[in-house]
Structure 1
Amino acid sequence: MARRGGRSAGLFGAALLCAGLSGCIGVPDAPRPRAEAVPAEVAAAPVAGAGPTIGTGSVKVALVVPLSGQGAAVGAAVRNAAELAYDDFQKPNLQILVKDDRGSPEGAREAVQAAFAEGAEVVLGPLFAANVQAAGSVARGAGKPVIAFSTDAAVAARGVYLISFLPQSEVDRIVDEATAGGRRSFAALIPESTYGNAVEAQFREAVARRGARLVAMERYAPGNPGPAVDRLRGVIAGSSAQADALFMPDTPEGLAAVAPALARAGFSPARVRPLGLALWNDPRVLSQPAFQGGWFAAPDAAGFSGFAARYQARFGTAPPRAAALGYDAVALTAALSRQYGTQRFADTTLTNPAGFSGLEGTFRFRADGLGERTLAVYEIRNNAASVVSPAPKVLGPSGI
């Protein structure tokens, strides 16, 4: 385990360095868990060590984040995390060109153009979907890859890779775990939103892939689930309930309205297991009687907790969740530049099916740009969440 200045860089470097060997494994647009909200002290904090570059190495990479305009507080935290990763990796042969995209597509386009003019070989960022699209159009023209932080799967493409946690991976993980536990008949309550549309498509596919049944699905206007719950009453409530699992991918705010509607309908979580995604990891969800005994898929919390403690000690503030993506992206480029020479950022290198080890588990990039990550499954008991299925060490054929 590499150490520098008393801080541990963890196993990330070792795992990444062996990712190419046989058998060796090494913000956001969609709603995310409450932990990603930017604390007031982060929003008020200056960008620590703000400057045009981090490091003086010969391998140049661009970090494109908002340091002004929309998302500036999160961008500052990602920039800080990049500096932390650079130091943890004992100042690798990198020169990180930090560029402000001003939270806009035009700013992202200009930032990437400037970075390429200075010799950048790869783009880390941006945060927002529209900015990723703008950066990707410039990068494709230059034949350079983008490793972006958006959670909007629609912006992924060959050469534009998403290192973020995508809800599609969470859906696959929770359906796989539920069916492995004997649940074969699913019902779903899904909000009518862009996020809900993406999740529904993945849910249908995952249920079919596991040979299970989707017995009923209802959509509802956000904040008004009552009518949809009433239509599902015969499927999810009573001794003759047809479903043995109920999938509810909503925000904590949305679930606060879903829970009392379920109670009025006579829903019993002991009979029909509630299922959710990482958004459920929030006290407002964990405290609801309707969700006790429920399962949800989310990143293993231990990795982020360790990173957050070191970030706090270094910068005096608590990091938003997206900061860990900046750390992973810099750690990835550092390790690849050490091992792969001129092929360090080639598509074949970045899409190695063995994947790479990050702060919050193993991840890999598919050829279509989508990222896949290992996730844990948590169970809600007594208003708290505990791991019932740890995150796998290795990504399987389906991404789980």
Structure 2
Amino acid sequence: MFARLPSLRLPGLPRVFARFAALAGLALMAACDVAAPGAGGDGGPRIDPAQPIRVALLVPGGSGQDDADFIAASLENAARMAIADLQGAQIDLRVYNTGRSANQAAAMTQTAIADGAAIILGPLDAQSAAAAGLAALPSQTNVLAFSNNTAIAGGNVFVLGRTFDNIADRLVDYTSAQGIDRYLILHQDDLAGQTGRDAVASAVRQNGGTLLGVEAYPFSQDGIFSRAPAIAQAVQSSGAEAVFVTDSVAGGLPILATALTDRGLDPAASPLAGLTRWDSAPQALSLPGLQNGYFALPDTDLNAAFERRYEATYGTRPHPLAGLAYDGIAAIGALVAAGDTDALTRARLTQGSGFQGTGGPFRLLSDGTNQRALAVARVQNNQVVIVDPAPRSFGGAGF
């Protein structure tokens, strides 16, 4: 995913959001201008599906950061849950700590391949995933990274995280079906904001909508306040029927939404639509500026069932990213269970039928990105209301 955001240090950030920032910040993983490894054709090691398949799990443990160690434990626990659920496939899981270091990720990838790993699951950060992909390229070993940064996808690297492209397409597809086709984009002026901006612009074009304009703001509290009057004026004068925002509730979104409503923006006339999970900070749902707004999330029933099972097994709630490790093992296991020696090649990993994950169906695409089933939620009366459920299979509404 994307870098730890400077919004976590916004001066004067309302205390109600501050305690969500540290954990959410680690979930927004490191990014920079990293390139995907070279194309790998349909490469991948041949396996004997009748024997245990060695899978390397790269987790951010060993960094000395409590939050990173919590993520590492959650990922490992979820992977072992998935292994216990498999039928017709044997997985020999080996766990490697990478800390938050790209160099360590590359070294652990080389060690894992020398140990006989047929596929790499992880690592967490975008830079680390790119490094792992390069380290795995000579052996044509595929990497299923926990990142959502599409800049590092491609070749032998696949990203498992929910991408801005996937989210933007889902939200634009839904809102356009409701008669909304005039959009404005507001984004923080950093890499994550720019990536989100591009994802929304592409989704609007592909769905036949009209992009009325793009407004950026410096990623600081003072920057938001200084730009708020001009942004509010731009929204009101544009006639936008929906306003996409790329910021998060752990970052600048609460300040932005409040500043805009204070300057007369009517969320009933021009609702916000967000690329991040607004429900990660329940207090944010009471903000006037987020009322009537849209965001996307996985199938709530399936995701809740996974979290209950995890808590019953391990006695604690999982980190929100834990499901990605479960999904990765589920995909690997489903392919191995089919009994083919080429189960872990790019051609098989990108099968159109996809896989069943903790939040519903998902599939890996040939460009290294993914498509996930997502529900559309709306904030109504300070509560999250699912207005369009996540599809349970490919080919239906929502895909």
TM-score exceeds 0.5: yes
Aligned ranges 1:286-297 → 2 under 5 Å: 286-297=285-296
User: Who is 2:253 aligned against?
Assistant: 255
Contact 1:108 1:135 in 2 (8 A): yes
Structure 1 residues 162 and 393: alpha-carbon distance in aligned structure 2, compared to 1, 3 A threshold: same
1:244 is matched with which residue?
Answer: 241
Select which of 58, 78, 85 maps to 1:64.
58
Structure 1 residue 226: Cα displacement = 3.1
Spell out, residue by residue over 1:39-76, the C-alpha distance to the aligned partner (whole angstroms, 9 max, x if none).
xxxxxxxxxxxxxxxxx952111111122115222111
Look up the match of 1:355: 354
| 1-structure distance, mates of 2:289, 2:273 | 11
Matched, 1:78 2:75: yes
The match for 1:37 is 23
1:35 CA displacement: 11
User: Could you tell me how far apart the structure 2 residues matched to 1:180 and 1:36 are?
Assistant: 37
CA distance in 1, matches of 2:177, 2:159: 28
- Could you give the per-residue CA deviations for residues 365-387 of structure 1, whole angstroms, max 9, x where no partner exists? 11111111111100101111011
Report the CA distance between 1:217 and its aligned residue: 1.7
Mean alpha-carbon deviation: is it higher for 330-339 or for 390-399?
A: 390-399
Work out whether 1:183 is the aligned partner of 2:169: no
1:128-182 deviation per Cα after TM superposition (whole angstroms, max 9, x unaligned): 1111111101111111111110121111112211111112211111111111111
Task: Answer whether contact 2:141 2:156 (CA < 8 A) is retained.
Answer: yes
Give CA deviations for 1:286-328 in whole Å, capped at 9, x if unaligned.
1111221111122222222111111111111111011111111
CA distance in 1, matches of 2:166, 2:395: 12
Partner of 1:334: 333
Q: Where does the alignment leave 5 or more consecutive residues of structure 2 unmatched?
A: 6-16, 25-49
Distance in 2 (CA, whole Å) between partners of 1:30 and 1:398 is 34
Q: Are the equivalent residues in 2 in contact too, given 1:64–1:100 (CA < 8 A)?
A: yes
Alpha-carbon separation, structure 1, partners of 2:265 and 2:138: 54
Write out aligned runs for 1:85-96 (5 A): 85-89=82-86, 92-96=89-93
Residue 276 of structure 1 and its aligned partner are, at CA, apart by: 1.1
CA distance in 2: counterparts of 1:66 and 1:244, whole angstroms: 42
Q: Is contact 1:278–1:299 with CA below 8 Å preserved after alignment?
A: no
Residue 311, structure 1, aligned to residue 310, structure 2: yes
Partner of 1:274: 272
In the other structure, the counterpart of 2:119 is 122
Q: Equivalent residue of 1:215, what SS?
A: strand
Structure 1 residues 399 and 166: alpha-carbon distance in aligned structure 2, compared to 1, 3 A threshold: farther
Which residue of the partner structure matches residue 29 of structure 2? Answer: none
Secondary structure of the equivalent of 1:341? Answer: coil
The AA in structure 1 aligned to 2:70 is A
SS at match of 2:344: coil
The number of equivalent residue pairs is: 355
Match of 1:17 in 2: none
Identical positions, percent: 32
Q: What per-residue deviation string (whole Å, max 9, x for no partner) do you get for residues 254-284 of structure 1? A: 1111122112221111111221123322323
- What SS does structure 2 have at the residue aligned with 1:342? coil
Partner of 1:153: 150
1:140 maps to which residue? 137
- Structure 1: gaps spanning 5 or more residues: 1-26, 39-55
| Structure 2: distance between partners of 1:63 and 1:338 | 19
- Residue pairs, 1:161-200, within 5 angstroms: 161-200=158-197
Q: Using the alignment, how far apart are the partners of 1:35 and 1:167 within structure 2? A: 20
Secondary structure at 1:228's aligned position in 2?
Answer: helix
1:30–1:195: 8 Å Cα contact kept in structure 2? Answer: no
| CA deviation profile, 1:97-143 (whole Å, cap 9, x unmatched) | 11122331222122111111121110001011111111101111111
Are the aligned partners of 1:304 and 1:359 in contact in 2 as well (CA < 8 Å)?
Answer: yes
SS at match of 2:341: helix
Q: 1:151 to 1:393 in 2, by over 3 A?
A: same
Q: Contact 1:355/1:365 (CA < 8 Å) preserved in 2?
A: yes
Native 8 Å contact 2:212 2:238 kept in 1 = no
The residue aligned with 1:284 is 283
Separation in 2, partners of 1:355, 1:208: 26
Structure 2 equivalent of residue 10 of structure 1? none
Equivalent residue, structure 2, for 1:110: 107
Greater shift after overlay, 365-374 or 68-77? Answer: 68-77
Q: After superposition, what is the alpha-carbon deviation per residue over 1:316-372, rounded to whole angstroms, capped at 9, x for unaligned?
A: 111101111111111211111110420110111011122111110111111111111
Amino acid at match of 1:157: G
SS state of the match for residue 320, structure 2?
coil
What amino acid does structure 2 have at the position aligned with 1:60? R
Q: Tell me the distance in 2 between the aligned counterparts of 1:187 and 1:86.
A: 44
CA distance in structure 2 between the aligned counterparts of 1:30 and 1:216, rounded to whole angstroms: 27
Matched, 1:101 2:98: yes
Question: Which residue type is aligned with residue 23 of structure 2?
Answer: A
For residue 229 of structure 1, what is the aligned residue in structure 2? 228
